[in-house]
Amino acid sequence: MSVLESLVGETQLEFHRPWPRAIVGSADWLRAISDLSAGHYELVAQWGESAAVHLALRSRSDNDLAILTLECPDGKFPSVARLHPPALRLERTIRDLHGLEPDGLDDTRPWVDHGRWGVRHPLGARQATNDGGTLYNFLPATGESLHEIGVGPVHAGIIEPGFFLFRANGEAVVRLEERLGYVHRGIEQLMIGASLDHAIRLAGRVSGDSTVAYAFAFARAAEGALDIKVPVRAAWLRAMMAEWERIANHLGDFGAICNDASFAIMQAQCAILREKVLRCCAACFGHRMMRDGITVGGVAADIDSNAISLCSRLVLEIAQRLPRLFELYDKTASLQDRTVGAGVLRCELAAQYACGGFVGRASGRRFDARKAHVFGPYDQFVFEVPVLNEGDVNARVSIRIREIEQSLSIIRQILDRLPPGPVVISSAKQDGSREGAALVEGFRGDIFAWMRIAAGKVEHCHLRDPSWFQWPLLEAAIEGNIVADFPLCNKSFNCSYAGHDL
């Protein structure tokens, strides 16, 4: 029996797929938190409902996953972050949205609620308030000769909004503190009562660069809840879309990181390849970013033999060009001077935060949802999960290049062996309330989706972006680096604002 099984025990809910969910008492909740902080589990997600808090945990020993629920009729629950800091921003958000109080939480500053909604606790007992905004108390930094640099929320490039407060001693960053929440759109509330068709379109607009991965995660959670078996061809096409999305983002960011180190020619080269990928996706899947290409039960459209030859040619072209671009990156001393040793994320921190994606895998983490929670069709493909331990900008770049190679290989395997058959299955009406969860590996890391469906409508849906466990680590990685290296380090993490703010 695994560690988690002993926690969820006999109290599992009947309709929750594929992992168990159990309502636990406060003694088990406290035991879970203590085991979590001792490193037996990893924190996958934590979210609220009107009178309950959910905690998704993964066992470090066997990747087993389970969801614990603590009912909190008196509006309080024992804080997880009190012992396990990675939960801090999640709990501040639960306070903001649901009005549930994490007992023992030191940092009770609002997180996504900037005092501008005209309502408090929009997902709990709503209270009307004024919308004039509240002052945010940044954490103190004291010492000789410190100066402050505030940046945002409107940044200098074409990027998303957020606020960064740097405290620097000369050029060296002493403390960076992020303030996020500017792009909070209230998606969790918009999901409530939505049809599955509408809700999956919302999911595809959580984070535009991961539109496929989010729709994929949503669809898998819904299909889990409704016991839908997706046709094999549809599953393979989904994987192809997900891998193209990974390649497009990795290519774009590889160029952009080099551009932040003033090596603009790489940006120009990578942008051409990225554009080719987007055009290929538009031709094959009807949209440059493949938005709304995944539906509950399958995919929106099949591809034909033209699309297959188009994809094959592009796979070949990228496979030929990429090694030469990487060689150029690797042999340009001025570029290496910027990326090697910059923005180091220590392996222990990445492990504590269960940091996903290339950020985690450049700091010693082996986790990749495609391998750890094998889901179809990834069990059919041969691929590797590259891992490095250096944790610097260079390691994150190198991992992404290796990941492009692996994705190209997966697409090649799909093109060679794409099974025939239908690409969508209609869902049978299911009675009662049913729940499902899913973890899908987006380009940035593992996206967690959980939902409860009743009478064909979403009753509640929670989507957790990988950035929740990456943003706090950026604050740690930048410490001691020079302020001028922040754009480079930041781009090498490329956390999502929209996915985080939801």
- The region of 25-33, 200-208, 459-467, 481-489 touching other proteins under the rule CB under 8 A is 200-208
Nearer to other proteins, 363 or 492 (CB): 492
Find, among 314, 292, 339, the residue nearest to 415 by Cα.
Answer: 314
Q: How far apart are the first and last CA of the chain?
A: 36
Choosing from 208, 286, 341, 376, the residue that interacts with other proteins (CB under 8 A) is 208
Q: Does 497 sit near other proteins (CB under 8 A)?
A: yes
Q: Does 357 sit near other proteins (CB under 8 A)?
A: no
Q: Does 159 sit near other proteins (CB under 8 A)?
A: yes
Q: What's the alpha-carbon Rg for the chain, to the nearest Å?
A: 22
- What's the rounded Cα separation, in Å, for the pair 221 and 450? 6
Choosing from 45, 81, 183, 221, the residue that interacts with other proteins (CB under 8 A) is 183
Query: Angle 142-484-270 (CA atoms, 0-180°, nearest 5)?
Result: 145
Find, among 267, 207, 121, the residue nearest to 218 by Cα.
Answer: 207
Q: Does 283 sit near other proteins (CB under 8 A)?
A: no
Q: Does 291 sit near other proteins (CB under 8 A)?
A: yes
Q: Does 417 sit near other proteins (CB under 8 A)?
A: no
Minimum CB–partner distance for residue 457 and other proteins (Å): 16
The continuous run of DSSP H or E covering 51 comes out as none
Beta carbons of 255 and 247 less than 8 angstroms apart: no
Nearer to other proteins, 28 or 253 (CB): 253
Identify the DSSP state of 420: P
**The token pair that represents 1 in the structure block:** 């029996």
Choosing from 8, 206, 372, 414, the residue that interacts with other proteins (CB under 8 A) is 206
Minimum CB–partner distance for residue 85 and other proteins (Å): 25
SS3 332: coil
85-114: contacts with other proteins (CB under 8 A) = 112, 114
The torsion of the CA quartet 327, 329, 335, 339, rounded to 10 degrees, works out to -110
Find, among 451, 474, 500, 468, the residue nearest to 44 by Cα.
Answer: 468
**The token pair that represents 176 in the structure block:** 């960076």
Minimum CB–partner distance for residue 328 and other proteins (Å): 6
Q: Does 354 sit near other proteins (CB under 8 A)?
A: no
Residue with tokens 């697409």: 411
Nearer to other proteins, 48 or 377 (CB): 48
- The DSSP string of 335-398 is HHHHHTTSSPPPHHHHHHTT--HHHHHTTT----HHHHT--TTGGGS-------S--SHHHHHH
Q: Does 46 sit near other proteins (CB under 8 A)?
A: no
Choosing from 38, 139, 172, 268, the residue that interacts with other proteins (CB under 8 A) is 268
Q: Does 451 sit near other proteins (CB under 8 A)?
A: no
Find, among 31, 4, 67, the residue nearest to 451 by Cα.
Answer: 67
- What's the rounded Cα separation, in Å, for the pair 391 and 27? 38
Nearer to other proteins, 34 or 189 (CB): 189
Minimum CB–partner distance for residue 496 and other proteins (Å): 7
- What's the rounded Cα separation, in Å, for the pair 499 and 111? 15
Q: Does 316 sit near other proteins (CB under 8 A)?
A: no
318-347: contacts with other proteins (CB under 8 A) = 324-325, 328, 331
Q: Does 288 sit near other proteins (CB under 8 A)?
A: yes
Q: Does 207 sit near other proteins (CB under 8 A)?
A: yes
Nearer to other proteins, 86 or 204 (CB): 204
Minimum CB–partner distance for residue 273 and other proteins (Å): 9
Q: Does 458 sit near other proteins (CB under 8 A)?
A: no
Query: Who contacts 135 (Cβ-Cβ below 8 Å, separation ≥6)?
Result: none
SS3 215: helix
Q: Does 265 sit near other proteins (CB under 8 A)?
A: yes
Minimum CB–partner distance for residue 198 and other proteins (Å): 8
**Cα 180 from chain centroid?**
15
Q: Does 76 sit near other proteins (CB under 8 A)?
A: no
Q: Does 149 sit near other proteins (CB under 8 A)?
A: no
Q: Does 160 sit near other proteins (CB under 8 A)?
A: yes
Beta carbons of 252 and 498 less than 8 angstroms apart: no
- What's the rounded Cα separation, in Å, for the pair 448 and 436? 11
Residue with tokens 């680590």: 473
- What's the rounded Cα separation, in Å, for the pair 433 and 146? 56
Q: Does 261 sit near other proteins (CB under 8 A)?
A: no
Q: Does 83 sit near other proteins (CB under 8 A)?
A: no
Q: Does 16 sit near other proteins (CB under 8 A)?
A: no
Q: Does 157 sit near other proteins (CB under 8 A)?
A: yes
Number of chain positions touching other proteins (CB under 8 A)? 54
Q: Does 257 sit near other proteins (CB under 8 A)?
A: no
- What's the rounded Cα separation, in Å, for the pair 225 and 232? 19
Q: Point out which residues bind other proteins (CB under 8 A).
A: 112, 114, 116-119, 122, 131, 133, 153-154, 156-161, 181-187, 189-190, 198, 201-202, 205-209, 211, 252, 265, 268-269, 271-272, 274-275, 278, 288-289, 291, 324-325, 328, 331, 496-498
